[in-house]
């Protein structure tokens, strides 16, 4: 079955392409290269032994998406990653986030909406804001978002629910995942941020390799054991496999309509714990400093993943040290083989 993977040359998308092939699917990649690198297609070729089909286009362009539908009429499923994704940037440039993240989704729903499709949406734990109870379950109330990025995920889920309620032929699963980190075991693909990293782990690895002078830990006075923010970090390969599990669930006769799942490890780690884990896994000491809190950051969040285990038959398998070691292997690879 052909699966359209939007944002398929990005961090999570590229790893999901690999896992789709491993599971017997035929991925078709769409990416506008605004936050990715065309050379990742070559890296995927090295891993897979063939070059996946690739279309370069912006999903906000209705004409381009219409042509895609004509060029790829036998798509059986869609995994939608393509979106602007940095919390801090969204606070500074909210209109970019509302435009990119809504138009791309709506164009896919409208222009592919004439046929039955299984649709996996890349959602986020940011929909929960700062939960009242931890670990947070899928039944927790969706609070006012802490950032425009989080708001786009909340509203996108509403768009999907409303579309299903209106009689869409789609089946939809929204995966509310936590903080993806790490890299493929081959070290041929990993997180490749353009410019200054917006996420913790690539900033750690770039500091370790000498690209950055030091890491700033944004706040050490939160109500957490060591004062730094707590997140549920999940290995990107485990996360990629969850998308395959979601597709397989929607292919069963038992599934119809819309559902949401938390995708994480079920365990929170603080920023300082992640820094320590990196040092332990790699033997590299990091230069870091404590800075002020950052607008839009949630104090602490980690997920209850019972539902994913029971219904998706999926669970995270790779631990934090493995995440750090694989991220470091990837950073060393791109230092020696610039992309």
- Count Cβ atoms below 10 Å from residue 212 Cβ, excluding itself: 17
Task: Return the ∠ at Cα 332 (arms to 89 and 209), rounded to 5°.
Answer: 65
Residue 150 and residue 126 in contact, taking contact as beta carbons nearer than 8 Å = yes
Q: Who contacts 210 (Cβ-Cβ below 8 Å, separation ≥6)? A: none
CB 263 within 8 A of CB 233: no
Query: Residue 313: exposed, middle, or buried by beta-carbon count in 10 A (0-12, 13-18, 19+)?
Result: exposed
What whole-number distance in Å separates Cα of residue 158 and Cα of residue 123? Answer: 11
Residue 171 neighbours by CB distance under 10 Å: 22
Residue with tokens 């006769």: 253
> Residue 281, SS3?
helix
Give the active site residue among 112, 149, 177, 258.
149
Active site residue 149: yes
Q: Could you tell me the maximum CA-CA distance found in the chain, to the nearest angstrom?
A: 55
User: Which are the catalytic amino acids?
Assistant: 149
């Amino acid at each position: 079955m052909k699966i359209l993977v939007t944002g398929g040359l990005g961090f999570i998308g590229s790893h999901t392409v690999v896992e789709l092939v491993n599971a017997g699917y035929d991925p078709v990649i769409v990416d506008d290269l605004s936050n990715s690198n065309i050379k990742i297609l070559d890296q995927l070729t090295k891993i897979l032994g063939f070059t996946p089909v690739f279309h370069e286009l912006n999903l906000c362009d209705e004409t381009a998406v219409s042509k895609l539908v004509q060029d790829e009429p036998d798509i059986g499923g869609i995994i939608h990653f393509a979106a602007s994704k940095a919390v801090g940037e969204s606070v500074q440039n909210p209109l970019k986030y509302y435009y990119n993240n809504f138009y791309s989704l709506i164009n896919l729903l409208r222009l592919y909406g004439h046929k039955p499709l299984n649709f996996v949406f890349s959602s986020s734990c940011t929909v929960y804001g700062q939960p009242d109870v931890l670990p947070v379950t899928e039944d927790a109330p969706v609070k006012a978002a802490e950032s425009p990025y989080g708001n786009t995920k909340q509203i996108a889920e509403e768009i999907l629910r409303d579309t299903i309620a209106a009689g869409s032929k789609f089946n939809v699963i929204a995966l509310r995942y936590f903080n993806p980190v790490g890299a493929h075991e081959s070290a041929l693909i990993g997180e490749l941020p353009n410019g200054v990293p917006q996420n913790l782990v690539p900033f750690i690895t770039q500091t370790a390799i000498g690209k950055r002078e030091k890491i700033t830990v944004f706040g050490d006075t939160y109500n957490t054991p060591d004062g730094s923010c707590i997140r549920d970090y999940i290995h990107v390969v485990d996360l990629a496999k969850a998308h395959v599990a979601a597709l397989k669930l929607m292919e069963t006769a038992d599934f119809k309509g819309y559902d949401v799942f938390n995708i994480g490890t079920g365990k929170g780690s603080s920023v300082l714990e992640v820094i320590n884990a990196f040092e332990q896994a790699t033997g590299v000491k990091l230069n870091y400093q404590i800075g002020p809190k950052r607008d839009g950051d949630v104090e602490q969040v980690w997920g209850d993943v019972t539902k994913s285990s029971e219904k998706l038959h999926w669970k995270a398998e790779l631990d934090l040290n493995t995440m750090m070691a694989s991220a470091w292997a990837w950073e060393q690879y791109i230092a020696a083989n610039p992309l």
